[in-house]
Amino acid sequence: MPPVVAAPRVTRGHVIMAVVLISLGYFLIWPVLLLLINSFNAAGDWFVEPRTWGLKHWQNAFQRAGLLQSLGNSLLIWSLTVSISFPIGVAIAWILARTKIPFSHTLEFLFWVSYMVPALPTTIAWITLLDPDIGMINVGLKNLFKLDQGPFNIFSVPGIVWANLMGHGISIKVMLMTPAFRNMDSTFEEAARVGGASNLRTLCKVTLPLMITPMMMVFALQLLRVFQSFETEYLLGMPFGFYVYSTKIYTLIRNAVPNYGEATVLASITLLIIALIIPLQRWIIERRRYTTITGSFRPGLIDLGKGNYVAFAILTLFLVLLTLGPLAILVLGSFMQRIGYFVLGFTLEHWKFVLTDPVFVKALRTTLTLALAAAIASPLIFAVIAYILVRTRLPGRGMLDLMIWSAGAIPGILAGLGLLWMFIDTPGLNALFGTIWALLIVVILQGKTTGVNIMKGVLVQVGADMEEAARVSGAGWIRTFFRIWLPLLMPTLVLLAVMNFVSAAGATSSIILLASRDTMTLSLMALELSSSAVNNREAASIISIFIIAFTVTGAFLVRYFGRRFGVRHDMRAESAAAARQNSN
């Protein structure tokens, strides 16, 4: 008789992993698959007519020039922004990390602050300055030089690129590359200078080649951001008929006669492009590596002499353009009778209008609800997922990790469109469409790739001896997680909580297709007021001030709790010195 093969035993671990994979897959992967499936639904009215499968919408999409052109416009804006911001970001990262510029750590933190300010308020501020008719800079130049027309026009391709640069285009590259430049061993640079090389030649021949790996990693990360932007392109591109893929999808769905078919086809084409980008990104990351930190690592900084102070002045001015400048312009514009017309004087009427508007009160309440929910729930969920990936041997961990990474590459507007179909098509969940519960799901899960990987890094660093001691004492998995791991992870949990609060407070593209008038947020309200259809920029400036207040407060909380809960090397050094003194 053939040997009897025992059936695989289903353990509690299999059940746990199955629940996790099904739950996350339903909200992260299934909406994406729905986009591809629905793109072949040839019905004219998806909500009335029965589904009929065919290539009708795909044929219409390829025949409509503007649809595919929007993808080309997305690539154009991304390539122009990256080609300008990347060398600037490298130069600033090198100055902050490798030179003796004064207050380098403070300047680096201010770049973090500029990144945490959402793109929407920054764009509104630059519209206030560079509107061709009533922009403050254009009005001032026209009056000063007696010009018929202002020289700048924010509603143009260069204007969109400029707004992206002043938003997150440069700050994110400085954030990502400065730590890598700071960790480089100065021995390499000193050897070049001993050989007679100047600082510039050392930078080009030694520093940059050694930093090729982190620079290429940052570039690879930027590849996934080709289709991420929405707010800036919506506000600046719509007035002159310039569409990127995200604004085209939004317009097709929010038209008087929604065109869901072609919108879904455009989303599907975008997903196919992203599927090609991801392997390219992985190839770039794994292609070349240099070791810059060894056992004989020695830090060191380059003294630029008077150039240190020149660089400090330039970076300070640049940070004013990124942070203080937009905030000052928004505050000034909110008190003007009409932005750009100083002769009309100033007023408090716009503030009274906004603060007494029931929609604003509702939007403020909704924004705080979403931000607080994301701050509380997201870190806990990410911590559990990271724990499963790092500290367990449950089957399917590789699939879970791949799911988290893949979902992170989906732009917000695509994820929102996929969730739209998921809520509409799923019995029971369709009642949640247009309610705050749908938005809560989005904001809690956004940032999952970054959050989970940050938690994974911390879990890898912490030894397992305390967890093992708890298990020996009879504690179960749940009790061990809450009594041992959560206290150990608390510093990181607090930082993730603040970051998720900021992200949820400024969310726009990920929730715009799911929100209704009853679930309006501050960011959506500011976007609507700034649009060419409404054109109430004074009120939009006031709402943007509230958004910036939320995000800047979050940035300072990150810095405060990072120092409070982080490892204090100075305290440890002082304690060791005191112990040696007492022993003597």
Listing DSSP states for 305-338 in one string gives: TTHHHHHHHHHHHHHIIIIIHHHHHHHHHHTBSS
Say whether both 397 and 313 belong to one domain: no
Q: In which residue are the tokens 């002499």 written? A: 305
Return the pLDDT at 366: 92
497 domain-assigned: yes
Asked whether residue 290 carries a pLDDT value surpassing 70, the answer given is: no
pLDDT digits (tens, 9 = 90+) for 17-57: 888 888 888 888 888 888 888 888 887 766 677 778 888 88
Say whether both 302 and 353 belong to one domain: no
Burial tier of 23 (Cβ tally within 10 Å: 0-12, 13-18, 19+):
exposed
Asked whether residue 84 carries a pLDDT value surpassing 90, the answer given is: yes
User: Is the CB of residue 87 less than 8 Å from the CB of residue 219?
Assistant: no
Return the pLDDT at 197: 67
CA distance 516 to 526: 15
251 domain-assigned: yes
81 or 14: which carries more pLDDT confidence?
81
Asked whether residue 541 carries a pLDDT value surpassing 80, the answer given is: yes
User: Is the CB of residue 380 less than 8 Å from the CB of residue 493?
Assistant: yes
Q: In this structure, what token pair is assigned to residue 83?
A: 């080609």
10 domain-assigned: no
Work out the average pLDDT over 135-152. 86
Asked whether residue 581 carries a pLDDT value surpassing 60, the answer given is: no
101 or 343: which carries more pLDDT confidence?
101
CATH code for the domain in which residue 525 is found: 1.10.3720.10
CA atoms within 13 A on the CB side of 533: 5
Q: In this structure, what token pair is assigned to residue 445?
A: 């899960």
Say whether both 579 and 460 belong to one domain: yes
User: Is the CB of residue 394 less than 8 Å from the CB of residue 17?
Assistant: yes
Work out the average pLDDT over 121-127. 88
Return the pLDDT at 81: 92
pLDDT digits (tens, 9 = 90+) for 357-370: 888 989 999 998 99
15 domain-assigned: no
Q: Which of 432-436, 514-518, 524-528, 558-562 has the lowest mean pLDDT?
A: 558-562
Work out the average pLDDT over 240-255. 86
Asked whether residue 508 carries a pLDDT value surpassing 90, the answer given is: no
286 or 7: which carries more pLDDT confidence?
286
Nearest 10 degrees: CA dihedral of 45, 50, 52, 58?
Answer: 20
Say whether both 428 and 319 belong to one domain: no
The domain in which residue 177 lies consists of 55-347
Return the pLDDT at 566: 46
Say whether both 373 and 275 belong to one domain: no
Q: In this structure, what token pair is assigned to residue 516?
A: 């209704």
Asked whether residue 580 carries a pLDDT value surpassing 80, the answer given is: no
Band of residue 473 on the pLDDT scale cut at 50, 70, 90: low
Question: In one letter, which amino acid is 344?
Answer: L
Band of residue 465 on the pLDDT scale cut at 50, 70, 90: low
Work out the average pLDDT over 166-191. 77
46 domain-assigned: no
Return the pLDDT at 79: 92
Say whether both 383 and 491 belong to one domain: yes
By percentage, how much of the chain surpasses pLDDT 90? 8
43 domain-assigned: no
Work out the average pLDDT over 272-280. 75
CA distance 348 to 452: 45
Band of residue 142 on the pLDDT scale cut at 50, 70, 90: confident
Q: How many domains does the chain have?
A: 2
472 or 574: which carries more pLDDT confidence?
472
Last residue of a domain, one of 347, 381, 409: 347
CA atoms within 13 A on the CB side of 60: 17
By percentage, how much of the chain surpasses pLDDT 70? 80
- Measured CA angle at 180 (ends 179, 182), to 5 deg: 65
Return the pLDDT at 579: 47
Work out the average pLDDT over 405-409. 75
Work out the average pLDDT over 438-449. 86
168 or 47: which carries more pLDDT confidence?
168
Say whether both 429 and 490 belong to one domain: yes
Average predicted confidence (pLDDT) for the chain: 79
Band of residue 316 on the pLDDT scale cut at 50, 70, 90: very high
Q: In this structure, what token pair is assigned to residue 345?
A: 């004087």
Say whether both 296 and 423 belong to one domain: no
Return the pLDDT at 85: 92
Q: What is the CA radius of gyration of the chain?
A: 26
Band of residue 83 on the pLDDT scale cut at 50, 70, 90: very high
pLDDT digits (tens, 9 = 90+) for 192-205: 666 666 667 777 76
Asked whether residue 5 carries a pLDDT value surpassing 80, the answer given is: no
Say whether both 188 and 276 belong to one domain: yes
444 domain-assigned: yes
Band of residue 469 on the pLDDT scale cut at 50, 70, 90: low
Band of residue 92 on the pLDDT scale cut at 50, 70, 90: very high
Return the pLDDT at 578: 47
> Of the candidates 442, 422, 42, 67, which has an alpha carbon nearest to the alpha carbon of residue 252?
67
Say whether both 321 and 396 belong to one domain: no
pLDDT digits (tens, 9 = 90+) for 51-76: 788 888 888 888 877 888 888 898 89
Work out the average pLDDT over 426-452. 83
Asked whether residue 355 carries a pLDDT value surpassing 60, the answer given is: yes
User: Is the CB of residue 484 less than 8 Å from the CB of residue 472?
Assistant: no
Asked whether residue 481 carries a pLDDT value surpassing 90, the answer given is: no
Last residue of a domain, one of 347, 367, 400: 347
Asked whether residue 312 carries a pLDDT value surpassing 50, the answer given is: yes
CA distance 159 to 72: 17
103 or 65: which carries more pLDDT confidence?
103
Return the pLDDT at 279: 74
Return the pLDDT at 308: 86
48 domain-assigned: no
Return the pLDDT at 291: 44
Say whether both 171 and 305 belong to one domain: yes
Last residue of a domain, one of 314, 347, 380: 347
User: Is the CB of residue 128 less than 8 Å from the CB of residue 537?
Assistant: yes
Determine the 3-state secondary structure of 53 from DSSP.
Answer: strand
Say whether both 295 and 363 belong to one domain: no
Return the pLDDT at 199: 67
